[in-house]
Structure 1
Amino acid sequence: MDSDLREMRGVLQGKLADWVCRRFPDGASSQWWLSIFESLEASASPFRELAPDRRAEDLNLAAEAILVAVKLGGVRSAIGAYWMLRVAALSLRLDPPVADLPQILTPDGSAAWALRQIPLTRERTIEESETRKSEHLNAGKEFYAPVGGEFTLTGEVAFSGLQDVELILSALPWVCSHLKDKEIESNVHSWLEIRGSL
């Protein structure tokens, strides 16, 4: 993975998708993508002594990697949104600030992109949340995994749209207080208002 990251740092901006497709003809796993995001986040951390140019390069690469991962289907859109907000929040903690960050790593840019990744309307989110609460309240013992016994998952684990909404909403507060665009701010707040009732 370290060698992959070194190679990625040498890829021209805008060419990362081509590099990934050559490196992984059958597609990169979500675990590989997440390890790349985590490594770039750690590299750009404010607690590391790093030349400003290198930190800017890693932040730019993180943003591009997230966009490419979502585009190629390496991670779900909600995971991409979560990580974009996470990297944007990290960049807010840097002192001095990094110059020339891509728009998508600004609070407004990351929030606007994250909002576009939300798979449900607010109304549908509330409906699905109420359905889930009802299912949990009325569930029998067979609904839950056995305690202390063996449990095997069959097939691929499916994530509901509601879970994806919750993941994105968990990250929006990280940039919320730094939003400047009133329309984006209003939209974020209207989503966060329903978060506590889900």
Structure 2
Amino acid sequence: MRVDSDLREMRGILKGQLADWVSSRFPDGTSPQWWLSIFESLEVSASPFRVVTPDRRAEDLNLAAEAILLAIKLGGVRAAIGAYWMIRIAALALRFDPPVADLPQILTPDGSAGWALQQIPLTRERAIAESETRRVEHLNAGEGFYAPVGGEVTLEGEVAFSGLQDVELILSALPWVCSHLKNKEIESDVRSWLEIRGNL
């Protein structure tokens, strides 16, 4: 599979040179699907169920963080998807005892949650308001609003994702690290967001 060979090459790239490799490998740009395959492969590789050396596990977790940040920078994935995956990888790192050594700050609970909070595109008030607007739209929607059952669906142009969807995606991941937060300011902010999650 091509992703496997790409991942093997990526592991051999010096830190800070991944962007050059991606540009060379994909001169016309990358797809979100490719990035997600890379994230998933690194997550599986670093799993506690895999028998790998501690160094290899640390390298894969570090590479995952670097790849997520690069994917956002290059426009390969939305910031919300990157935030979701950063928390997911940070939560994976929490499963090891003793802890995995030499991980970047962004893969700690506080680092991943604090960074993810910065990727939330709406304020809490705006998220609640947009959620209510969406609820009203769905309640008042006619038959044309929904895809026909068993029928063909044609999408015109690029599918757009709302800021509210991005908020919901990030909030779905925050509980994975919430109980491990040590920074009181970050913890307070995370809990304030999670308190409104049920209202969205």
Give the TM-score of the pair, scaled to structure 1.
0.98
Structure 2 matches for 1:133-152, cutoff 5 A?
A: 133-152=135-154
Q: Which amino acid in the other structure matches residue 12 of structure 2?
A: G
3-state SS in 2 of match to 1:151? coil
1:119 equivalent in alignment to 2:121: yes
1:66 aligned residue: 68
Question: Is the CA contact (8 Å cut-off) linking 1:169 and 1:191 kept in structure 2?
Answer: yes
> Match for residue 96 of structure 1?
98
Shift of 1:96: 2.4
**Identical pairs, percent:** 83
Alpha-carbon separation, structure 1, partners of 2:20 and 2:185:
35
- Is this contact kept in 2: 1:46–1:95, CA < 8 A? no
Counterpart CA distance in 1 for 2:20 and 2:194 is 37
Whichever residue aligns with residue 5 of structure 1, its letter is L
Letter in 2 for 1:115: L
Distance between the aligned counterparts of 1:189 and 1:177, measured in 2?
Answer: 10
Instruction: Give the match for residue 13 of structure 2.
Output: 11
1:56 aligns with 2:58: yes
Listed one character per residue, the Cα deviations across residues 67-106 of structure 1 (whole Å, up to 9, x for unaligned) are: 0000110000000000000000000012321011100000
Instruction: Compare 48-57 and 16-25 and name the one that shifted more.
Output: 16-25
Amino acid at match of 1:47: F
1:153 Cα deviation (Å)? 1.6
Structure 2 CA distance for aligned equivalents of residues 13 and 163 of structure 1? 33
4+ residue runs of structure 1 moved beyond 3 angstroms? none
Counterpart residue type for residue 42 of structure 2 = L
Structure 1 gap segments, 5+ residues each: none
Name structure 2 gaps, 5 residues minimum.
none
Per-residue deviation at 1:24?
Answer: 0.9
Q: Shift of residue 21 of structure 1? A: 1.0
SS at match of 2:158: coil
Q: With structure 2 as the length reference, what TM-score do the two structures score?
A: 0.97
Instruction: Report how many residues are paired.
Output: 198
Secondary structure of 1:196 counterpart: helix
- Partner residue of 1:129 out of 121, 128, 131: 131
Cα RMSD after superposing both structures: 0.7
